[in-house]
Structures are given as structure tokens and as C-alpha cells.
């Protein structure tokens, strides 16, 4: 153990090693690929910074080190020493001529993931599949997107808050709640942190919560997770117009910042200019106008209908930027949205649709800020008022107009990286048929 630490301590990241052409370097990581013969073995080593081809000649290694390399499985961990050279023929652009090789830990057996595997199998071994270059790039992008979102809101003077995830008051329709036994009482995993974010604006004015939301989605779709990460800003003294402007600024900031991550962009074949073109203002279409567009494109929609996957695709397939659909019918939206004074059939809200059929990425609205109006609407919706007494209280003590929205971070990742399924946007996806690993 001691000696292996000594060897590891002398290693440098692969990305740094390739700057030292002609010099001897030591790297450490995992064996990403391996092939060879009785006299020469090629391995590709991987660390978080990249991959590099290494070539080992039997004659250059001691007998015991050659034996170690020879029995090393793919995905075992190792320290490799050698001289770096540029090599256009190698897949990685550089090559390391191995002078010494040391296993940190060999696998107990062959790595279970070989070249062609079904998506279901890759989900079964997700804990190992996370080492694939595809997942590594997605997880880097995910981490960056979290950071861009936080940076943007922090720079606007927001405070990050931490809501409870176990609640008794559903924040949305309540239809998809996971129920749990809370010391003998009924409680739920939260479906949105909005109600708690609302409570906190009376102290901090501009807040956001960045936490998981849980939806017991019984359908299998390419854009629904049972556990997803939900960014929910809530702002005092804010109307729906300002709310939409903040959303387009946030989404543009994320897309524009992401455009400079050239390694990830290259990996997924993402056009940098497309990301840079995502700038305010986004198109704004009222629900009523959207109905007209849909029907002109062959859908048969009536006033009051919600939109499905196919409608979302029809509306956005030719769009390059996200697009707002605002002021939806009261009946199909949540209990906290105020009536639109210009058309009382509708409420002051918006959904932000990603381009090209990628679906809804944000839902937001003004919030009813009058206690009686809120109670009346909750009664209309058949909600149990007693569960929401604290939420109604917020309207009884120094209430102010306010707005907020919720962005599904995996929906953003799926859209920006052109992933074909939302499950790859999160390391350990939870879906109707999957809660492990
Ligand atoms: O439209 P939703 O249900 O709105 C709310 O929960 C509000 N309380 C948010 C707020 O105003 N604070 O969800 C918001 C967003 C959706 O637009 C979508 O991006 C994402 O959350 N989302 C999901 N993402 C992945 N899997 C699911 N099952 C999702 N359900 C919603
Ligand atoms: Mg929604």
C-alpha cells in the first residue's frame, strides 16, 4: 500500500502529460481499452482529463511488470510510466512509450461491460457504466450546468435556500405523490419546493431552491423521471412578464456559457453557434394562439385541452430557440395561479418549451397573494385546506405580489446535449421500472 501511494504521488493528469513531449512522465487512471500480442501490448489509459494510448514492448519491461500488464483487465486501475510523443496514427493523438507499469488494483474478473450492450443492461450496471466516455462527458456537462445556473442567480442577488423534501402539502396536482409512513402519519416526498420557497421570500425576497422533486409518474416516457433535480426561483414584487424575462436570461446564460466547453461539444457534435444564438427575447405565444397554430398544423384541439408530446413537437419542431406558451386555462393549471384580469378563463402563467420537440423545460407563474382568493381556488380544486394553513398564512401577514418558476435540470441537459432519453442526464435514474443501482 505504502509503495503504491508513493508511485501515485508522482503522477500527473493525462491532459498535462501530453504537454511534455519527449519527456518521461507518470500517469494514473483506468485501462479504457486493451489489445496486443505476446510481445507488444497497447492500452488506452483514462483519467478525468482525457485518454492516451500507451504502447508497451515486452523487452522494455521487467518480467514481473510485463506479467502484471499482461493479466490486467479493462477498467482495472494502474500507474503507467513512459515517454510522451505525438502520434497522428493513434486514436488519442499522442502515445506514451511504456517503461514501467504498476497495477493499483486488478479486477476480480473481466469487466462486465463489453462493446455492444443493451440499454437495459447498461442501466443494470450503471454504477460501472458511469466510467464510459459518454457518461463522463454528460456528468461533466451536468456539473457545469448546475454551476452556470447557480452563478447566474447568485449574481442577481438571490439566496439559495434548502427546503424540506418530506411534506404534507402537495405543491402541484397531488396526483403523482409518493406517499410514506412518517412515524404513523401520512407524508409525501415533495413534488415541488415552490410552497417553501414562497414562505422564504418574505424573509429573503429573492430565493432559489435547487433540490430533487419526486413524481410518481406511471408513464414511461423519454422525458419523465420519478426523481429529478428542480431549480425553483421565487421572487417578491415580481409579475409574470418579469418572470418570463428572468427565465429567458437564465436559459440563455446556461446555453451561452456551455458553448465554450469545446471538448464536450465535440463529443456530442453540438454546434457552438446554435448555443450562442440562444438569446432573449424568446417567442411568446398565448395558449389561445398556440391552439390556433396546432389546429392549422392538423391537430384537433379544443379550448381547454392540455397539450401532449405530439402537440409540443408540432409547436416547436421548426424553432431554434425556446418558446413561451403563456396564460393557460385555469382548469388545467395549479391552484396557486391568479386569474388573468383580461381573460378570466385563463391564469397568469407560462410554460417554456425547448426547441425541436424537446418538451417543457420550465413551468412558472404569478402566485395568488390574497388569502380569500387562494382559499376559494383551493376549494374549487377540492384541496384539503387544513393541510395548507401555513401556506395560506403567508397571505395573511404582509402579503406581496410574487412569482416564480421551476426548471427541470435533466430536461435542460437532455435538450442541450441532444440526448435521446432523459435517463442519461442523471447518474442514477429513478423511473417506474427502476430504483437500482
Ligand atoms: O411544471 P411543473 O410541474 O411546475 C412546478 O412544479 C412548479 N411548482 C414550479 C414552480 O413554479 N416553482 O414542473 C416544473 C418543471 C417542468 O417544466 C419540467 O422541466 C420539470 O419540472 N419536470 C420534470 N422533469 C423530469 N421528470 C419529471 N417527471 C418532471 N416533471 C416536471
Ligand atoms: Mg408544467
Quickly count: other Cβ atoms within 10 Å of residue 433's Cβ. Answer: 8
Sheet strands side by side (includes 178-182): 166-167, 185-189, 178-182
Distance CA(168)–CA(182), nearest Å, equals 10
Ligand 1 atom nearest to 365, measured from its CA: 11
Count how many Cα atoms sit within 13 Å of the Cα of residue 98 in the half-sphere of its side chain.
28
Section 387-409 average pLDDT: 97
377 within 8 A of 339, measured Cβ to Cβ: no
* Residue-number span of the structural domain to which 222 is assigned: 124-425
Tell whether the model's pLDDT for residue 172 goes beyond 90: no
- CB-based contacts of 275, cutoff 8 Å, min separation 6: 255, 256, 258, 259, 265, 416
Domain boundary among 42, 70, 105: 105
- For 46-84, the pLDDT digits (tens) are 999 999 999 999 999 999 999 999 999 999 999 999 999
CATH number at residue 66: 2.40.50.140
Is 24 within the bounds of a domain?
Answer: yes
At 17-34, the pLDDT tens digits run 999 999 999 999 999 999
DSSP annotation of 219 reads: S
> d(Cα 68, Cα 325) in Å, to the nearest integer?
61
Farthest-apart Cα atoms in the chain, separation: 86
Verify that 357 and 253 share a domain, yes or no: yes
Ion ligand 2 nearby residues (CB, 5 A): 363
Nearest CA to ligand 1 atom 7: 406
CA 273 – ligand 1 centroid, Å: 28
Residue 262 sits in the same domain as residue 182: yes
Q: How high is the pLDDT of residue 170?
A: 76
Edge-to-edge, what's the strand order for the sheet holding 323-326? Answer: 159-161, 206-214, 227-236, 402-408, 359-367, 349-354, 323-326, 283-286
Instruction: Provide the pLDDT confidence category of residue 92 given band limits of 50, 70 and 90.
Output: confident
CATH code, domain with 306:
3.30.930.10
CB atoms within 10 A of CB 4: 15
- Could you tell me if residue 272 is inside a domain? yes
- Is the same domain home to 183 and 265? yes
Taking the alpha carbons of 257, 262, 264, 267 in that order, is the dihedral positive or negative? positive
Ligand 1 centroid from CA 349, angstroms: 13
Ligand 2 centroid to residue 25 C-alpha, Å: 53
pLDDT score at 2: 58
Q: How confident is the model at residue 338 (pLDDT cuts 50, 70, 90)?
A: very high
Question: Considering its fold, how many domains does the chain have in total?
Answer: 2
Query: Is residue 112 assigned to a domain?
Result: no
- In a shared domain, residues 96 and 229: no
- Residue 240 maps to a domain: yes
Q: Mean per-residue pLDDT for 368-374?
A: 98
* pLDDT (mean) for 237-263: 98
Give the pLDDT confidence score for residue 278 in this predicted structure: 98
**Which residues line ligand 1 at a C-beta cut-off of 6 Å?**
171-172, 192, 194, 215, 217, 224-225, 228, 230, 232, 360-364, 404-408, 410-411
Dihedral sign from CA coordinates of 94, 97, 103, 108: positive
Asked whether residue 86 falls in the same domain as residue 221, the answer is no
Pairing of strands 227-236, 185-189: unpaired
Q: From ligand 1's centre to the CA of 208, what distance in Å?
A: 14
pLDDT tens string 273-330:
999 999 999 999 999 999 999 999 999 999 999 999 999 999 999 999 999 999 999 9
Per-residue pLDDT for 270 more than 70? yes
* Banded model confidence at residue 113, pLDDT cuts 50, 70, 90: very high
Given a contact cutoff of 8 angstroms between Cβ atoms, the answer to whether 329 and 287 are in contact is yes
Per the domain annotation, does 260 fall within a domain?
yes
User: Does 115 map to a domain?
Assistant: no
Residue with CA nearest ligand 1 atom 9: 406
Last residue of a domain, one of 77, 105, 133: 105
Q: Is the pLDDT of residue 208 over 70?
A: yes
DSSP letter string, 159-171 = EEE---SEESS-S
Q: Please report the DSSP string for 310-369 in residue order.
A: HHHHHHHTT-SS-EEEE--BGGGS-TTPPBPTT-TTBBSEEEEEETTTTEEEEEEEEE--
Amino acid at each position: 500500500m505504502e509503495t503504491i501511494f508513493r508511485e501515485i504521488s508522482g503522477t500527473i493528469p493525462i491532459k498535462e502529460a501530453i504537454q511534455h513531449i519527449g519527456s518521461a512522465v507518470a500517469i494514473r487512471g483506468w485501462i479504457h481499452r486493451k489489445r496486443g500480442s505476446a510481445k507488444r501490448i497497447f492500452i488506452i489509459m483514462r483519467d478525468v482529463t482525457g485518454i492516451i494510448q500507451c504502447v508497451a514492448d515486452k523487452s522494455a519491461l521487467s518480467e514481473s511488470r510485463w506479467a502484471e500488464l499482461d493479466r490486467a483487465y479493462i477498467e482495472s486501475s494502474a500507474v503507467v510510466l513512459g515517454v510522451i510523443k505525438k502520434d497522428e496514427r493513434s486514436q488519442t493523438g499522442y502515445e506514451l512509450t511504456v517503461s514501467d507499469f504498476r497495477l493499483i488494483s486488478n479486477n476480480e474478473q473481466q469487466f462486465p461491460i463489453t462493446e455492444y450492450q443493451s440499454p437495459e443492461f447498461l442501466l443494470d450496471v450503471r454504477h460501472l457504466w458511469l466510467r464510459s466516455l459518454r457518461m463522463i462527458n454528460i456528468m461533466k456537462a451536468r456539473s457545469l450546468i448546475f454551476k452556470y445556473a447557480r452563478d447566474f442567480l447568485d449574481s442577481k442577488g438571490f439566496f439559495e435556500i434548502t427546503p424540506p423534501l418530506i411534506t404534507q402539502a402537495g405543491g402541484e396536482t397531488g396526483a403523482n405523490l409518493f406517499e410514506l409512513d412518517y412515524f404513523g402519519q401520512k407524508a409525501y416526498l415533495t413534488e415541488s419546493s415552490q410552497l417553501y420557497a414562497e414562505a422564504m421570500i418574505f424573509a429573503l425576497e429573492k430565493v432559489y431552491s435547487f433540490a430533487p422533486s419526486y413524481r410518481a409518474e406511471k408513464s414511461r416516457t423519454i422525458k419523465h423521471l420519478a426523481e429529478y433535480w428542480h431549480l425553483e426561483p421565487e421572487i417578491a414584487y415580481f409579475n409574470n412578464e418579469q418572470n418570463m424575462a428572468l427565465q429567458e436570461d437564465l436559459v440563455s446564460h446556461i446555453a451561452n456559457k456551455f458553448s465554450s466547453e469545446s471538448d464536450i461539444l465535440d463529443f456530442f457534435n453540438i454546434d457552438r453557434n446554435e448555443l450562442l444564438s440562444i438569446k432573449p427575447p424568446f417567442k411568446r405565444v398565448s395558449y389561445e394562439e398556440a391552439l390556433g397554430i396546432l389546429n392549422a398544423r392538423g391537430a384537433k384541439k379544443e379550448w381547454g385541452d392540455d397539450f401532449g408530446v405530439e402537440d409540443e413537437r408540432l409547436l416547436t419542431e421548426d424553432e431554434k430557440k425556446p418558446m413561451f406558451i403563456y396564460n393557460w386555462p385555469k382548469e388545467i393549471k395549479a391552484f396557486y395561479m391568479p386569474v388573468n384580469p383580461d381573460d378570466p378563463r385563463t391564469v397568469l402563467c407560462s410554460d417554456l418549451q425547448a426547441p425541436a420537440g424537446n418538451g417543457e423545460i420550465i413551468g412558472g407563474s404569478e402566485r395568488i397573494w390574497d388569502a380569500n382568493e387562494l382559499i376559494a381556488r383551493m376549494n374549487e380544486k377540492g384541496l384539503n385546506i387544513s393541510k395548507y394553513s401555513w401556506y395560506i398564512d403567508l397571505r395573511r401577514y404582509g402579503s406581496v405580489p410574487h412569482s416564480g418558476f421551476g426548471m427541470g435540470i435533466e430536461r435542460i441537459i437532455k435538450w442541450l446535449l441532444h440526448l435521446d432519453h432523459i435517463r442519461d442526464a442523471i447518474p442514477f435514474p429513478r423511473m417506474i421500472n427502476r430504483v437500482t443501482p
